[in-house]
Structure 1
């Protein structure tokens, strides 16, 4: 019978420990994880990238929901453990759930430290720690323009950069004279400050905040010197505080963190602690690499393998702050015992300082070019005698390839990827056992490089050292997912050439690494099959994302939005009454006019979603789908004195013509009744500007965090021609787009002129439109069939529109 392992916390350190346990003995424990956030395990390091808009929330998940199911892990999200009853060996949650354990891991992490200032509880004062914090800042940036970030450390600068990228005016307030004083000396810190100022960041150095002012919402800061600053948002980034209250209430020994020994044991038997909540030898750690080392050490101990336990960590930081490369490790300031090797290139913005004691490296500060960081830090940890090195080239070994030698000399347990705690030994083992040949394969298999990517050079060096002449970084090819090295185009061509009829057959015939596929290729293959064989292939609902299966967007608290179709933003009194009745019946907390001019019901419980759709009896607005979401239009000539054509009527007809059909990613279209462009058609995937003598057509726009203006395409005279070319454009995108690729990057990848050449060839567009119409008919038939089946089952009366 398996022992019961319970973990409190679903963060990076704890889940890494579980991953390591599963690697060693997946049958040893019956595992339960309890997390207070409504998300799977995600990479907190990447929240700054989400804030800056370079990645989306769903791209930072370390382990998707399916991972827990595949590993037979019971996961409770959005639930908080409120008591540890160690005598009974059980934990109790805020829902009243009682869970028995044989072994308990506490991985509760930390919380942002909020300065105890007057006004700290005002709306608009926030820390930067979670997805919820990040969402709040993104939403705030849409409404307000002035932000203050208190704290000039790494987290504060990342938050400030993200808010600038979101369009806010940002001041960073820092108590000390230099930024990132724990990682950089004054020279590097001043270089960083200068570079950040060029990006629009403003600084108030040596400033102490005395209070936060405002009525219900923050309006500004007052400093101890009497000066003040107006702001609409205050982000506290002054440090973290280990979450220890639960452990302290259970009687565990707690100082700053939960006190543990080398085996991560707490003061009570069968209870362990890892991550930011733990304290080892008087030290609490906030960087990822040591937390992963703790998790690995605990996994080794719990699975009965011989281990010396966790021996503490020498800290280093290698990262990119707002586009500025830096690395630091060990000491950063000279003292009477150290001598410094300093190289500074002011023209190129480069700075390198190596601190030496007794012919050994004891400290490293690099700015502008951090490529030497791993090599030098390896020498620091190994206490390498530098007598045989030249300092003129920053310790390059005379007459040798330094990178090759560094990789050859690295111990197996040395960390290569600090973000994900991946060692050289793990990478080499994966290369040999999994027959890996490319950086992308190593990244997928081991997660080395899956976060910031700064370790790519070392990973490729390990590949080269391990594989010899059979490795070529230049020839490396990225497959459509981690299951295959085949690209999207190669997979689609093989499906056509071999006549493959199902995703499972594709994976088997084409030799995918996993028989059941992964969360990337399952929905992609389902899309490609339905695109290629619209009349023969039966849509596999199980391969779709939860939003599409539920016909609603999942919200951050696990509820869903239900948004019916409203062509052109128009509706009827009967439909409005129906929406109101349903909202009252199911206690829907938010009824909102959406940005797409529809009425949305937000906060619908998962179990209520089918019944809400049943009671509404309305067609879905596809606000959750990878298909046409909506066509935004102004009223055009029907009402506006500037309108040249019936933009509203054309928008409705265009929406009806294109709706429902799956595309590689979501699509939005716009029809503006005149060149004033009130419908913002020039930042849509397909845009129409009405003019006196017809319609101007555009494509490839994007109004998101990375904006792209449309490319002009052609002018046509009739509404029928507009719809004809919209179909041709959509079908060409369907047939050549990579699943999950918006039209803007698709246009950049294929080239504007290539797409124009296709759409200006009448023979090709006739074929594209014919294939689109064939596909559209299957979606209409499926919709009608589903309605009839529900009607026969007495689920609801079909409302004719």
Structure 2
């Protein structure tokens, strides 16, 4: 059977969703060629803001990578602009030649509107539309200045992302309040206050007059009242226009966008259009939800199934820089309309419902949007609200006069209630997925696509999970660091660097901590971030460490401690063994155990005996094995070429050198290494945080393995020829982990977040590798010391009973 030839122009989110549906439903039916002027495939454009803010990387928002296209047999012509469409010959002409089609899909998207001010063509005047624009903004350094024209969602996200990086940002907006299309004046005022509290300057009712420059580069924005706003970069975020030039030149019917019918067919029966470039019944589209609806309809049409695109009433649930916003319906004033308004200034909560007759016609919410989908359902279904009018503003949990727990609003939603507007996913679909085994947010995203697009429904999806799973629900990792603040670990770490916060007091004051000195949850994390980021300026605070790290031994369930001396690379000698045996006898150690990491563990040591047993072990040359620390634990080795007939390299010697290079450093979580002398892997190197396999040609370095609650094989970081290169790569990886990972994330969790490619690129860059090694060695010169020797030097240390310990161990 001859495959039908489909050519797609534009690798955006709408056309990408069409390809998903087509290749899933009819994998062997079409021969697909995909053009894209950008040198890449589909990525989630609406998540560029988190990339700008530093919360995610570009790799995190790629929806279709090269492997995805290859698996589906899609021919990709990326970085190639389409020059012409010949509808008579049914060909598309790209810069590198022609391709024939049976059906053509236009997914040309939209173009950012650039205000034709004098100076708009200066270098440094950009839109905020794609990855290149985002990279330009990310290139600004702390203290540099940026002006953003446009107080809509896109402009505010651009402003907030740069402000989080320490850039001085001014937003210029021509209207009287921010986001006037989505918010009323009161909600816009609250949003403005929140943004100004983050250091962003807002200028409303401000009309731009001219962009001035110097030597061909932007210098300032001039307002018509004479105000001059100096800037190093000027971002225009004032709207988009459907990209119709290619369709227009091909003779297709075009208005504001490319005209399409209910099946997304253009004026040519063999040409279709989808996404921001289309006009349907006089409407054009900028939100992702209708684009995905279009994609579903178009895919069904091409497969031969009946389907029709229907415009729906839309709600807008947005999260601008940590401010929850929701709007739906028509919230403008009008004759015969009434308002119900709720304000809680202390909590920063504002809700306004617009009622006409006995129907809810509009809703605006700021600060607390949990009930947004319920209100949206009332608007969409035109539900009579007369009987619930008195309690309507308080949401579904209060209907009938009852108060309920915070999750009752979600529990009260019917199964058909829409949870994810972008993908049209209902509560029932999510609950079916949960019943099928999708018990966390990642699994829900993978199976239903709910929360996989803009992310604003994430909280609601998590609430459905919590309602469905009860006590089995696992709290997602993207939570505030603790109850002391509203910031995630990633937020805190980024702000410590960008604002140059170099003490715990600075963090409490500058980042809005609700408590004066933090708590047992946040203090260890803040202590590590400051120590790792500012080794010269910050002094480690022992009282901000877990009990194990303060006592330099692992606490056991009966209140005694475990003492593990370090044995470099698993190698010991008779003198060390005698010292361990003597210590076990002298201090009545009840259990002596060989660990899986090739060490000897003395279990059951009383707290008051710790300084003395440390002193005795130190006399024999033994130092702390840091078996209690968030740092290097062990380097497990096999005997390698010294004794084994299969050994290819000196694995024992390399293990010893690695342990001597890395010991004593504080890391986000514990780190374990393994070095195997051959692929037989006797040191279990393939499930370690860093594992090295020796081969005839050199060393294979793997990272991000796990063998605890999660079991995971290492991923290949790279191959090196010499022992010194293996050491350098390992040290650089550990330092990269120290500089970027969330506290208490093991390396495998961190690598999964940032992507192995990102790690490889930085380690492969020789200048970056040298910087990482130098930074690690600097930290080591300050903090590498044997804590046992320090405390054993004076046995006057007072034993601290368990009742006085405030920080609990967390593994």
Give yes or no for contact 2:441–2:476 (8 Å, CA) kept in 1.
no
Per-residue CA distance 1:629-649 (angstroms, 9 max, x = gap)? 8999xxxxxxxxxxxxxxxxx
Secondary structure of 1:389's aligned partner: helix
Q: Do residues 287 (structure 1) and 269 (structure 2) align?
A: no
Rounded Cα–Cα distance in structure 1 between residues aligned with 2:738 and 2:433: 48
| Paired residue total | 555
Give yes or no for contact 2:692–2:701 (8 Å, CA) kept in 1.
no
**Match in the other structure for 2:687:** 528
Deviation at 1:282, TM superposition (A): 0.9
Deviation at 1:254, TM superposition (A): 0.9
Rounded Cα–Cα distance in structure 1 between residues aligned with 2:37 and 2:714: 23
Give yes or no for contact 2:355–2:362 (8 Å, CA) kept in 1.
yes
Cα distance change on mapping 1:153 and 1:623 into 2, 3 Å = farther
1:127-138 equivalent positions in 2, closer than 5 A? 127-138=127-138
Deviation at 1:113, TM superposition (A): 0.5
Rounded Cα–Cα distance in structure 1 between residues aligned with 2:462 and 2:738: 46
Rounded Cα–Cα distance in structure 1 between residues aligned with 2:98 and 2:685: 40
Rounded Cα–Cα distance in structure 2 between residues aligned with 1:356 and 1:173: 33
**Match in the other structure for 1:427:** 430
Q: Do residues 100 (structure 1) and 100 (structure 2) align?
A: yes
Rounded Cα–Cα distance in structure 2 between residues aligned with 1:296 and 1:161: 34
Per-residue CA distance 1:557-600 (angstroms, 9 max, x = gap)? xxxxxxx99x9xxxxxxxxxxxxxxxxxxxxxxxxxxxxxxxxx
**Match in the other structure for 1:786:** none
**Match in the other structure for 2:345:** 346
Cα distance change on mapping 1:58 and 1:547 into 2, 3 Å = farther
Rounded Cα–Cα distance in structure 2 between residues aligned with 1:390 and 1:683: 66
The counterpart of 1:687, out of the listed 778, 781, 796, is: 778
Secondary structure of 1:17's aligned partner: helix
**Match in the other structure for 2:381:** 382
Cα distance change on mapping 1:421 and 1:535 into 2, 3 Å = farther
Deviation at 1:680, TM superposition (A): 9.2
Deviation at 1:24, TM superposition (A): 2.6
Rounded Cα–Cα distance in structure 2 between residues aligned with 1:545 and 1:125: 44
Secondary structure of 1:256's aligned partner: coil
**Match in the other structure for 1:175:** 174
Rounded Cα–Cα distance in structure 2 between residues aligned with 1:69 and 1:624: 36
1:255-274 equivalent positions in 2, closer than 5 A? 255-274=255-274
1:443-458 equivalent positions in 2, closer than 5 A? 443-451=445-453, 453-458=455-460
Rounded Cα–Cα distance in structure 1 between residues aligned with 2:190 and 2:341: 15
Give yes or no for contact 2:143–2:168 (8 Å, CA) kept in 1.
no
Cα distance change on mapping 1:663 and 1:56 into 2, 3 Å = closer
Cα distance change on mapping 1:145 and 1:406 into 2, 3 Å = closer
Deviation at 1:165, TM superposition (A): 1.3
**Match in the other structure for 2:800:** none
Per-residue CA distance 1:143-196 (angstroms, 9 max, x = gap)? 871110001111111111111112211111111111100000000001110111
**Match in the other structure for 1:459:** 461
Secondary structure of 1:135's aligned partner: helix
1:613-632 equivalent positions in 2, closer than 5 A? none
Give yes or no for contact 1:623–1:629 (8 Å, CA) kept in 2.
no
**Match in the other structure for 2:635:** none
1:220-369 equivalent positions in 2, closer than 5 A? 220-307=220-307, 309-369=308-368
Rounded Cα–Cα distance in structure 2 between residues aligned with 1:550 and 1:271: 49
Give yes or no for contact 1:288–1:421 (8 Å, CA) kept in 2.
no
TM-score (norm 1): 0.62
1:189-228 equivalent positions in 2, closer than 5 A? 189-215=188-214, 216-228=216-228
Cα distance change on mapping 1:50 and 1:420 into 2, 3 Å = farther
Rounded Cα–Cα distance in structure 2 between residues aligned with 1:190 and 1:213: 31
Cα distance change on mapping 1:149 and 1:686 into 2, 3 Å = same
Deviation at 1:346, TM superposition (A): 1.4
Cα distance change on mapping 1:157 and 1:77 into 2, 3 Å = same
Secondary structure of 1:99's aligned partner: strand
Rounded Cα–Cα distance in structure 1 between residues aligned with 2:88 and 2:134: 39
**Match in the other structure for 1:22:** 23
Deviation at 1:527, TM superposition (A): 6.1
Comparing 422-431 with 324-333, greater Cα deviation is found at 422-431
Give yes or no for contact 2:370–2:460 (8 Å, CA) kept in 1.
no
Give yes or no for contact 1:681–1:688 (8 Å, CA) kept in 2.
no
1:398-413 equivalent positions in 2, closer than 5 A? 398=400, 410=414, 412=416
Rounded Cα–Cα distance in structure 2 between residues aligned with 1:344 and 1:696: 53
Cα distance change on mapping 1:716 and 1:92 into 2, 3 Å = farther
Cα distance change on mapping 1:621 and 1:174 into 2, 3 Å = farther
Q: Do residues 437 (structure 1) and 596 (structure 2) align?
A: no
Rounded Cα–Cα distance in structure 1 between residues aligned with 2:289 and 2:238: 21
Show structure 2 runs of 5+ residues with no match. 479-595, 598-683, 705-712, 740-757, 791-806
Rounded Cα–Cα distance in structure 2 between residues aligned with 1:313 and 1:713: 67
Deviation at 1:105, TM superposition (A): 1.0
1:648-663 equivalent positions in 2, closer than 5 A? none
Give yes or no for contact 1:625–1:666 (8 Å, CA) kept in 2.
no
Rounded Cα–Cα distance in structure 2 between residues aligned with 1:529 and 1:174: 53
CA RMSD of superposed structures (Å): 4.5
Rounded Cα–Cα distance in structure 2 between residues aligned with 1:713 and 1:74: 59
Cα distance change on mapping 1:623 and 1:224 into 2, 3 Å = farther
Deviation at 1:256, TM superposition (A): 1.1
Show structure 1 runs of 5+ residues with no match. 480-491, 494-524, 552-563, 568-617, 633-661, 671-678, 690-694, 699-711, 718-750, 756-801
1:347-746 equivalent positions in 2, closer than 5 A? 347-392=346-391, 393-396=393-396, 397-398=399-400, 410=414, 412=416, 415-424=418-427, 426-428=429-431, 430-431=433-434, 434-451=436-453, 453-460=455-462, 462=464, 472=471, 474-475=473-474, 528=687, 531=690, 534-535=693-694, 684=775, 687-688=778-779, 695-697=781-783
Secondary structure of 1:310's aligned partner: coil
**Match in the other structure for 2:80:** 79
Deviation at 1:300, TM superposition (A): 2.0
Cα distance change on mapping 1:536 and 1:93 into 2, 3 Å = same
Q: Do residues 111 (structure 1) and 124 (structure 2) align?
A: no
**Match in the other structure for 2:620:** none
Rounded Cα–Cα distance in structure 1 between residues aligned with 2:312 and 2:324: 23
**Match in the other structure for 1:41:** 42
Deviation at 1:386, TM superposition (A): 1.5
**Match in the other structure for 1:708:** none
Deviation at 1:478, TM superposition (A): 8.7
Rounded Cα–Cα distance in structure 1 between residues aligned with 2:21 and 2:64: 14
Rounded Cα–Cα distance in structure 1 between residues aligned with 2:772 and 2:95: 49
Cα distance change on mapping 1:237 and 1:457 into 2, 3 Å = closer
